[in-house]
């Protein structure tokens, strides 16, 4: 049997980062939005005792691990463990989401693998709980849409959002390590260069903008506490943000821990226009267009051998 599932990349419309916790994570209040930029994960059963073989295909497959550090491998194994079967699978990941980009591509692979493995093994338990065990953003990739994330980001509840939003996604050639960006933020705060968060709550104005469905209103409410840290490590990202604003974007900011930058635009036509201009400026290694909010992890196909 072969099961294929997809799961979306995310951006953070609000990313408020609290203090460092004893477990090494930071408390977050974040508003996630899922992009229609999705990875696909196929799980194919292999003969007993053959174990797991994992390969990555697609435009952004370079640097994706094939061993147990791959979150999709860990997710499939976790579901097999819950059911009490040995995990003998061929795992194929089609990477459309840039890697180490701040878009939670690895988390999307885990969310897709959880859904596919649950189908394959007939697991009926709570996948959201398994997602939270594997990583901070996986619960959201599983849920999709627009959602409020708290604790370290793994506790997610849907947020009301009207209409659709168009984003221009500007990738960088080098990835940024998420732990490094969080550490940089702690350092900047210790030095007094960046303020501690004033309040750890969802911004009411942001939630109202999402209810209004107005991209113009949403554009005034986007915040990312990790942006100063990402810019301190990779100052060139400011050029990407400036270029997007010069090219007519409504707002532009670093996506999560970066280095991808995202620009909110009015509609599809505007997205094409801004993306074409940015592509001509040589500031981003790759420019994509994406619509949001998109659905969470879901089964794409089931083939019975
Ligand atoms: O949970 P995940 O594996 O995605 O997190 C990657 C790293 O990002 C963590 O090891 C931690 O260094 C940092 N992080 C954090 N606080 C969070 C989420 C992630 O410090 N809320």
CATH code that applies to domain 165-292:
3.30.70.890
- Is the distance from the beta carbon of residue 178 to the nearest atom of ligand 1 less than 6 Å? yes
pLDDT in tens, 108-140: 999 999 999 999 999 999 999 999 999 999 999
Which pLDDT belongs to residue 213?
Answer: 96
Going by CA atoms, what residue is nearest to atom 10 of ligand 1? Answer: 179
Handedness of CA 143, 148, 149, 155 (dihedral sign): negative
Which pLDDT belongs to residue 173?
Answer: 86
CA 102/CA 108 separation, integer angstroms: 12
Confidence of residue 197 (pLDDT cuts 50, 70, 90): confident
Going by CA atoms, what residue is nearest to atom 11 of ligand 1? Answer: 179
Determine whether domain 2-159+294-303 maps to CATH 3.30.230.10.
yes
Which pLDDT belongs to residue 130?
Answer: 97
Confidence of residue 61 (pLDDT cuts 50, 70, 90): confident
- Is the distance from the beta carbon of residue 257 to the nearest atom of ligand 1 less than 6 Å? no
- Is the distance from the beta carbon of residue 137 to the nearest atom of ligand 1 less than 6 Å? yes
pTM: 0.96
Is 137 catalytic? The answer is yes
pLDDT in tens, 260-301: 999 999 999 999 999 999 999 989 999 999 999 999 999 999
CA 253/CA 236 separation, integer angstroms: 13
- Is the distance from the beta carbon of residue 92 to the nearest atom of ligand 1 less than 6 Å? no
Is 266 catalytic? The answer is no
Axis-axis angle for helices 268-279, 237-246 (nearest 10): 130
Which pLDDT belongs to residue 100?
Answer: 85
**Section 50-77 average pLDDT:** 92
Please, what is the average pLDDT of the chain? 96
Percent of residues, the chain, with pLDDT higher than 70? 100
- Counting from 1 in the atom list of ligand 1, the atom nearest the Cα of 137 is 4
pLDDT at 248 exceeding the cut of 80: yes
pLDDT at 175 exceeding the cut of 90: no
List the domain boundaries for the chain.
2-159+294-303, 165-292
Confidence of residue 60 (pLDDT cuts 50, 70, 90): confident
- Is the distance from the beta carbon of residue 30 to the nearest atom of ligand 1 less than 6 Å? no
Which residue(s) pair with 240 in the sheet? none
pLDDT at 204 exceeding the cut of 90: yes
- Is the distance from the beta carbon of residue 179 to the nearest atom of ligand 1 less than 6 Å? yes
Choose which residue among 103, 138, 152 to substitute to test ligand 1 binding: the one with the highest number of ligand atoms within 8 A of its C-beta: 152
- Count CA atoms within 13 Å of residue 93 on its CB side: 35
| Residue 113 structure tokens | 């693998």
Catalytic residue among 109, 137, 225, 247: 137
- Counting from 1 in the atom list of ligand 1, the atom nearest the Cα of 107 is 4
Give me the helices (H) in the chain, please: 71-83, 105-121, 127-134, 138-143, 178-190, 204-212, 215-219, 227-233, 237-246, 268-279
């Amino acid at each position: 049997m072969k099961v294929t599932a997809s799961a979306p990349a995310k951006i953070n419309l609000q990313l408020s980062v609290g203090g460092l916790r004893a477990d090494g994570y930071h408390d977050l209040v974040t508003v996630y939005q899922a992009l229609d930029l999705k990875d696909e994960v196929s799980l194919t059963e292999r003969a007993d005792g053959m174990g797991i073989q994992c390969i990555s295909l697609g435009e952004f497959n370079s640097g994706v691990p094939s061993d147990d550090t791959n979150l999709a491998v860990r997710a499939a194994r976790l579901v097999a463990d819950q059911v009490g079967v040995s995990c003998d699978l061929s795992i194929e990941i089609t990477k459309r989401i840039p890697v180490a980009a701040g878009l939670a591509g690895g988390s999307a692979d885990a969310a897709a693998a959880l859904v596919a493995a649950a189908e394959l093994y007939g697991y009926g338990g709570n996948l959201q709980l398994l997602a939270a065990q594997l990583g901070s953003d996986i619960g959201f990739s599983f849920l999709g849409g627009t959602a409020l994330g708290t604790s370290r980001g793994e506790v997610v509840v849907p947020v009301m959002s009207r209409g659709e939003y168009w984003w221009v996604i500007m990738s960088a050639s080098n990835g940024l390590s998420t732990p490094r960006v969080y550490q940089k933020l702690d350092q900047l705060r210790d030095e007094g260069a960046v303020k501690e968060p004033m309040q750890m709550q969802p911004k009411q104005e942001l939630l109202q903008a999402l209810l209004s469905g107005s991209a113009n209103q949403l554009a005034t409410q986007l915040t990312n506490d990790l942006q100063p840290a990402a810019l301190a490590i990779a100052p060139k990202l400011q050029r990407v943000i400036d270029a997007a604003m010069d090219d007519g974007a409504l707002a532009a900011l670093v996506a999560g821990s970066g280095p991808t930058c995202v620009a909110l635009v009015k509609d599809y036509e505007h997205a094409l226009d801004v993306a074409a201009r940015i592509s001509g400026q040589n500031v981003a290694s790759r420019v994509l267009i994406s619509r949001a909010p998109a659905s969470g992890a879901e089964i794409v196909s089931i083939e019975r051998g």
